[in-house]
């Protein structure tokens, strides 16, 4: 293991090289001394860049949102659109799931470690070493609902062990480099960068079950500029920090305002923290939250000059997909408040070793992750219109029913069939369902047979009505679940589903101290 805590490439399949984004080739080899300096001072830390992205796309543009109806808001939008870089980041395949850019929006925020735009003076001030090429060690998914009332930021640790399409299980931070490297032989530099972004999008879509609508990437200089333009951000530390040997962070305990180089050191630190990389993610989220609070304050909203500086700095540092319209994003988020902006980390099990003996982070199982992201992206349920008329029903004698036992309780179909016959329903086929582990009792009906279904539901209160292609028109299928208590009795109510929580959830309004 090297000085920064990163592990060398295993003897088996090598990790993808860190690539020089300008030349499209593996980054140049440094001397041993410069390599040690880079390892000590620049941990592989795309999270700081991601922090900047989140701030620019969401925070920087939020301020423009509040002015979106004015000529000044229009002007800021024109500035942003004129200076932002574009890339073909959204793939046409392998990006499936829920999500619709014209309504709710899923935005993938990434960052690169390129230092090519930094001067020697800036490299020294930021303690940033030399150019390390493209690196997407951290990814953040931002979900904004259609009404723009809230925003959810979910961080993905760099060592998350995930399925990368076409490459199998590997660390998440390998996805971009795999896509870039695959296109390196035949494509131009912009096309290689787009290929890397597309594979990362496909990887996140497969992992989350969500469609990624937009993509945004930011560089190191952009993070530095943003924290300087806003005039510093307040953070709150539970104890003093002296990490001068690694990240360079030396900070006091308690609330304090940081910007520029100190901000970069703050979000990069992981040595000396109780949970290492996980606490570094918290630091980056806290810094993003601080910038968002600053952006929503009168200090920024009433300063038109600062507004222009922010939008210009943000757009110059950003590379976004071809279809993202920054002013429309701002308008979508114009009603969001700091308390409605939530930060959390994808649910994970903990650290582990893979077959190559590399340190990895095991995420929760697929069902848990899908439930987490489904809850994250769920839109508020619309209230059913009030009605005083009960649903139409018919004579039970005109409602043929087939009964199938999916409860796991032997003989239940026969008992239910007998009770239904007594209640006046003509019963046809009875037997076991294909699966015996159904939790809910269902009444399945063909389109147009709603009145028949409601008639049977009156005899089994609480059963789920489900329109289906399975039953023939004019005939119902009753699938008995483990909640079935008998004809004439209500089914057992299902226990409420507890939402799956991400790690370290907090809002942008939270100013409690962190380690």
Give dist(CA 344, CA 506) in Å, integer.
7
Give dist(CA 413, CA 223) in Å, integer.
65
- What's the pTM? 0.69
Give SS3 for 361. Answer: strand
Measured CA to CA in angstroms, residue 215 lies from 116, 226, 289, 394 at distances of: 22, 19, 20, 54
The DSSP line for 126-172 is HT--S---B----EEEEEE-TT-S-EEEEEE-TTBEEEETTTEEEEG
Mean pLDDT confidence for 122-143: 65
Give dist(CA 509, CA 288) in Å, integer.
11
pLDDT, position 380: 62
In which band, very low, low, confident or very high, does the pLDDT at 8 lie, cut at 50, 70 and 90? Answer: very low
> Of 71 and 321, which is predicted with more confidence?
321
Topology match between the domains 19-364+502-507 and 396-480:
no
pLDDT, position 47: 40
| pLDDT over threshold 70, residue 14 | no
Classify 19-364+502-507 by CATH class.
Answer: alpha beta
In which band, very low, low, confident or very high, does the pLDDT at 439 lie, cut at 50, 70 and 90? Answer: very high
In which band, very low, low, confident or very high, does the pLDDT at 440 lie, cut at 50, 70 and 90? Answer: very high
Paired tokens of 234: 């307040």
Give dist(CA 143, CA 97) in Å, integer.
14
% the chain with pLDDT above 90: 49
Strand 151-156 relative to strand 139-144, pairing: antiparallel
pLDDT, position 349: 94
Greatest mean pLDDT among 66-70, 239-243, 380-384 lies in: 239-243
Mean pLDDT confidence for 348-360: 93
pLDDT, position 13: 43
pLDDT, position 121: 66
| pLDDT over threshold 70, residue 161 | yes
Greatest mean pLDDT among 15-19, 153-157, 388-392 lies in: 153-157
Greatest mean pLDDT among 69-83, 301-315, 331-345, 364-378 lies in: 364-378
Contact assessment for residue 197 and residue 110, using Cβ atoms and an 8 Å cutoff:
yes
> Which range (94-103, 106-115, 425-434, 463-472) has the least confidence?
94-103
> Which range (151-160, 279-288, 497-506) has the least confidence?
497-506
pLDDT, position 303: 78
Residue 79 backbone dihedrals phi, psi, to 5 degrees: -60, -45
Q: For the chain, give every domain's residue range.
A: 19-364+502-507, 396-480
pLDDT, position 7: 44
Mean pLDDT confidence for 137-161: 89
Dihedral of the alpha carbons of 221, 223, 226, 232, in degrees to the nearest 10: -120
pLDDT, position 500: 85
Give dist(CA 454, CA 341) in Å, integer.
42
Average pLDDT of the chain, as a whole number: 80
Please name which of 158, 167, 164, 161 lies closest in space to residue 136, comparing C-alpha atoms. Answer: 158
Strand 254-258 relative to strand 464-467, pairing: unpaired
Q: Which residues contact 235 (CB under 8 A, 6 or more apart)?
A: 255, 256, 258, 266, 283, 286, 287, 290, 514
Classify 396-480 by CATH class.
Answer: alpha beta
Mean pLDDT confidence for 142-155: 88
In which band, very low, low, confident or very high, does the pLDDT at 378 lie, cut at 50, 70 and 90? Answer: confident
Paired tokens of 432: 């076991």
Over residues 21-68, the pLDDT tens digits come to 333 333 333 333 333 333 333 333 444 443 344 443 444 443 444 344
pLDDT, position 267: 84
In which band, very low, low, confident or very high, does the pLDDT at 467 lie, cut at 50, 70 and 90? Answer: very high
């Amino acid at each position: 293991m090297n000085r920064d805590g990163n592990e060398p490439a295993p003897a088996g399949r090598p990790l993808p090289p860190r690539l020089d984004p300008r030349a499209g080739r593996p980054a140049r080899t440094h001397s041993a001394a410069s390599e040690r300096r880079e390892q000590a001072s620049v941990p592989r830390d795309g999270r700081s860049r991601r922090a900047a992205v989140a701030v620019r796309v969401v925070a920087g543009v939020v301020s423009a949102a509040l002015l979106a109806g004015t000529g000044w808001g229009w002007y800021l939008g024109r500035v942003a659109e004129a200076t932002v870089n574009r890339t073909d980041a959204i793939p046409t395949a392998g990006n499936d799931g829920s999500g619709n850019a014209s309504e709710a929006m899923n935005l993938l925020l990434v960052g690169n470690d390129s230092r090519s735009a930094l001067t020697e003076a800036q490299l020294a001030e930021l303690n940033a070493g030399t150019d390390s090429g493209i690196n997407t060690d951290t990814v953040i998914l931002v979900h904004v609902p259609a009404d723009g009332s809230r925003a959810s930021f979910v961080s993905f640790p760099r060592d998350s062990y995930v399925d990368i399409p076409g490459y199998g299980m590997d660390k998440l931070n390998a996805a971009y480099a795999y896509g870039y490297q695959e296109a390196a032989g035949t494509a131009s530099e912009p096309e290689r960068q787009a290929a890397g972004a597309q594979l990362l999008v496909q990887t996140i879509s497969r992992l989350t079950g969500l469609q990624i609508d937009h993509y945004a990437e930011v560089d190191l200089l952009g993070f530095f500029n943003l924290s300087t333009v806003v005039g510093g951000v307040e953070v709150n530390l539970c104890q003093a920090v002296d990490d001068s040997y690694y990240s360079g962070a030396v900070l006091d305990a308690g609330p304090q305002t940081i910007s520029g180089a100190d901000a970069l050191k703050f979000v990069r630190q992981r040595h000396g923290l109780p949970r290492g990389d996980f606490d570094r993610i918290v630091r980056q989220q806290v810094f993003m939250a601080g910038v968002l609070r600053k952006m929503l304050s009168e200090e920024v909203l009433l300063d038109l000059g600062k507004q222009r500086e922010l939008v210009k700095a943000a757009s110059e540092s950003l590379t976004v997909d071809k279809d993202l319209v920054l002013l429309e994003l701002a308008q979508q988020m114009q009603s969001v408040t700091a308390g409605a902006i939530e930060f959390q980390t994808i649910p994970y099990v903990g650290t582990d070793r893979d077959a190559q003996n590399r340190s990895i982070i095991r995420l929760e199982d697929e069902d848990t992750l899908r439930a987490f992201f489904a809850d994250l992206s769920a839109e508020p349920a619309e209230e059913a219109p009030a009605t005083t008329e009960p649903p139409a029903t018919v004579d039970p004698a005109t409602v043929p029913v087939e009964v199938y036992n999916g409860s796991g309780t032997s003989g239940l179909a026969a008992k239910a069939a007998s009770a239904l016959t007594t209640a006046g329903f003509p019963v046809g086929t009875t037997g076991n369902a294909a699966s015996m582990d159904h939790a809910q009792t269902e009444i399945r009906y063909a389109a147009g047979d709603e009145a028949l279904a409601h008639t049977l539901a009156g005899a089994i209160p609480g059963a789920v009505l489900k329109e289906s292609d399975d039953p023939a028109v004019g005939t119902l299928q009753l699938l008995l679940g483990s909640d079935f208590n008998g004809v004439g009795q209500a089914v057992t109510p299902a226990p409420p589903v507890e939402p799956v929580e991400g790690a370290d959830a907090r809002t942008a309004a939270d100013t409690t101290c962190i380690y």
